[in-house]
Structure 1
Amino acid sequence: MTSSKERATYWRVPGLALEAMDAHFERYAYPMHAHDTYSFGVTDDGAQSFVCRGGWHVSAAGLVMAFNPDDPHDGQSAVPQGHRYRMLHLGEDLVRDVITDAAPGTAGLPLFDTPVVDSPALTQAVARLPTAVAKNAPRLVTEERLTATVLALSRRAATRPVTPPDRRGRVDLAAMARVRGLLR
């Protein structure tokens, strides 16, 4: 890193394939690299540019970044004052587990073909998880935010979204029998 203003702080969640990073860079540039995880982030201030999936992209303040596992990308500041961003790295098995728990019977993992997404609701959902990790929030809070983040990303930004099965109009006869028994 080239100046004292340039920093990156990392956190890991014990027992989960989940890492969070908070960084500010002015001059530091990442060379082309890839992660074996899903990587999701929010640009908080400034703007950053990167090459990914054959194109040049800019993520300005308030935008979400979504990288699939093994997506090669680089990264650098796109403005003189630099950029601040928070990034999450989630293992594929963790994403699969979250989706399976939330939507039993669904198959597959989400795919993201647009590495920069402009959605204020998604930005809010994604930003809450690194905050919980950085503040060492109770495990339940972290897991609730993890589920909300994965599902929001899948529903709002994935080209192959994972959607829960439609359960409207379906009656769980066994559950109804248990309720009747309790009422009697």
Structure 2
Amino acid sequence: MKFLDRFLRDYRINVASRYVRVNDKILDIGCFDGYLFEKLAKKNIQASVGLDPLLKNDSKKGIHTLLSGKFPEAISDNETFDCIVMLAVLEHIPREEQKQFNSQFDKFLKSKGRVIITVPSPLVDHILVVLSKLRLIDGMSLDEHYGFETKEVFTLLDKQRFKLVKYKKFQLGLNNLFVFEKLN
């Protein structure tokens, strides 16, 4: 990872981590190397799970487990979490797979659990291509971007099961944060 990749990742984590509660058990979808867990150490999070299809092997990072695989298949059916995090991941997942998220998030989240999502604005795809060509970023999995629109996140989760508790733009409006909370 290049400096600019790390800077952007850290910025996203800092914005999102404000909405992770102390002692939460987290499912980090698209965890890459599990760095989020290091950044949340001050929040005393419980033993959590990171999931990423790009991981070569399952491993441990301190008390946290990193699994190679996709959501929800790689998660044990009896596992529940206080928080599900997807930072710069949703735009990599085909729309057809996203349709199952409503029921799967409901299944794996505890009552009052949160879903924290960041997605870039569509303009970012063009910026990332240029930065990648200039070799300023590694541009992880840019080939998976398919024109995801930020507004699609508003309809991702059923309003009968989840409420939007926070939406904000950051990084000069080029990135978006969504925080949903399970109603029961």
- Structure number with greater Rg is 1
Task: Please tell me the TM-score bracket, short chain as reference.
Answer: under 0.3
What TM-score does the superposition give when structure 1 sets the normalisation length?
0.27
What TM-score does the superposition give when structure 2 sets the normalisation length?
0.27
